[in-house]
Amino acid sequence: MTEGGAPIGVVGTGYVGLVTAVCFAHLGHHVVCMDVDAAKVESLRRGAVPIYEPGLDKLIEDNAVRLSFTTSYDELLAACHTLYIAVDTPPTLAGDADLSRVLNATHQIAQRGGRRLLVMKSTVPVGTGERIVADLEAAGLKGEVTYVSNPEFLREGAAIQDFLEPDRIVIGSSTVEDGDAVEELYRGIDTMVVRTNVPTAEMIKYASNAFLATKISFINEIANVCEQVGADVRTVAHGMGLDHRIGPHFLQAGIGYGGSCFPKDVQALKQLAGNSGYHFQLLTAVLEVNHLQKRRMVGKLKRHLGQLRDKHVALLGLTFKPNTDDLREASSIVLAARLLGEGATVSAYDPVIAPGDHALFPGVTLCADAMEALRGADAVVLVTEWAEFARLDWPAARELMRRPFVLDGRNFLDPETLAAAGFEYDGVGTGDLGLARAPVANG
């Protein structure tokens, strides 16, 4: 409970808002969740969770007595003093973060007056907090509404664990009391708390995501060089990661990062720097490497199969990573479109994507299981490392395919198992497997 035993309010029931709300409920707080989407609120009231996040439905069920859902700002504000903002900030056409939903929420809150503690969970550009405070003061709410930045570091698919067992909690505030009030909400979680001012907290979020994306693009470039010189990036990453200054995480080479965060946040930080007169060269390269990495898979397929016209390529996995149903900025979208552009036939299977037509994959045959997708294929590309693909009956798959060739876009499958099943295998930077070292073009 917060001030006066009032519940915490959370505006936005996307994956960040919902996970935040449910985890605070799990910590013992009453939480009122508000969303403008009436259908979503209705389904949450019935206990139906609109997103795929392991463990979330169970946690909602367990904490149902402390959770309520509404579409009404009046209802939310009548109940809550502390208000988390967790609406999305998609990129604008200019590449900046679109703050319209955030500003609409703060406007709705300001219009209704009253003493409030606004806490920002949404990822917003550095300077947003100061801008919101200035707007609130201009609206005559000086001293009434105070503001804290409390960014999220939740990975989709592991969001509950990331909330309840975080590496750190970051709290940016302009007064000690406001920061204390937010820190108190996390009582029960044993971790480092970084207390700072609002712009610094905002920057910690962007810098963290941009650094992780940089690590991925870096190891992807190392993988590409490994292919030229016959080295194996998996062992290179292992050898690098044992140095504690580097660490083993986010050194998994592959077909590029996707999702709702890295692509947008790297772009937004680059844009933020540019808008303030600084050209962030490194991030420009990180974005370009990621863009080309997806296309490289097409070049590799051509190297193995020759021209792709009239070839059949099967994709295993479509989501931007396993254990989520999120397709935002998934590498599969670009890959499928490029393959179709080359004249290939494309089939696909993903455990959480229903068969039939899909707006993001026009022209792709979405199948009900992996074997159906592989039938008659000249190559299979592993795009998303869902656990079930490691357990696939590869000898049976070989019988179904026209040509037994696997391109492992995540270095996830065991090359020896595949070789034993009669497959030709190639990965990303996994060393020269007897092929001539011709450079691989970005398809």
Tell me which residues touch ligand UGA (CB under 6 A): 123, 152-156, 209, 212, 216, 250-252, 254, 257-259, 261-262, 265, 320-321
CB-nearer residue toward ligand UGA: 139 or 212: 212
- As a dihedral over the C-alpha atoms of residue 334, residue 338, residue 341, residue 346, rounded to 10 degrees, the angle is -90
Question: Measured from the CB of residue 257, what is the shortest distance to ligand UGA in angstroms?
Answer: 3
DSSP state letter for 91: B
Q: Which is nearer to ligand UGA, 257 or 405 (CB)?
A: 257
- Whether residue 165 contacts residue 154, with contact meaning beta carbons closer than 8 Å, is answered with no
CB 437 within 8 A of CB 429: no
Q: Which of 195, 186, 180 is nearest to 166 (CA)?
A: 186
DSSP states along 260-279: SSHHHHHHHHHHHHHHTT--
Beta bridge partners of 313: 346, 379
- Reported as type and span, the H/E element at residue 337 is helix 331-341
Residue from 67, 82, 78 nearest 30 by CA: 67
The residue among 120, 131, 152, 168 whose CA lies nearest residue 265 is 152
Residue (110 or 318) nearer to ligand UGA, CB: 318
CB of 251 to ligand UGA, least distance (A): 6
CB of 156 to ligand UGA, least distance (A): 4
Instruction: Give the 3-state secondary structure of residue 56.
Output: helix
The residue (of 7 and 172) whose beta carbon lies closer to ligand UGA is: 172
Residues 143, 199: Cα–Cα separation, whole Å: 19
Q: What is the DSSP string of 183-243?
A: HHHTTT--SEEEEE-HHHHHHHHHHHHHHHHHHHHHHHHHHHHHHHHT--HHHHHHHHHTS
Q: Which CB atom, from 156 or from 178, has the smaller least distance to ligand UGA? A: 156
Min dist. Cβ of residue 162 to ligand UGA (A): 7
Separation between Cα atoms, residue 223 and residue 409, nearest integer Å: 12
Choose the catalytic residue: 23, 80, 226, 261.
Answer: 261
Residue 201 or 261 with smaller CB distance to ligand UGA: 261
261 flagged as catalytic: yes
> Least distance (Å) from ligand UGA to the CB of residue 141?
29
| Min separation Cβ 360 and ligand UGA, Å | 15
- What dihedral angle (degrees, nearest 10) is formed by the CA atoms of 14, 19, 21, 26? 160
Tell me the residue type at 180: D
Residue 53 CB, shortest distance to ligand UGA, in Å, is 10
Compute the least distance from the CB of residue 258 to ligand UGA, in Å: 4
Q: Crossing angle of helices 100-111/128-138, nearest 10°?
A: 30
CB 23 within 8 A of CB 153: no
Q: Which of residues 250 and 280 has its CB atom nearest to ligand UGA in the complex? A: 250
Listed in order, strand segments (DSSP E) in 317-440 are 345-349, 365-366, 379-382, 405-408, 424-426
Nearer to ligand UGA, 76 or 219 (CB): 219
Query: Which active-site residues does the annotation give?
Result: 261
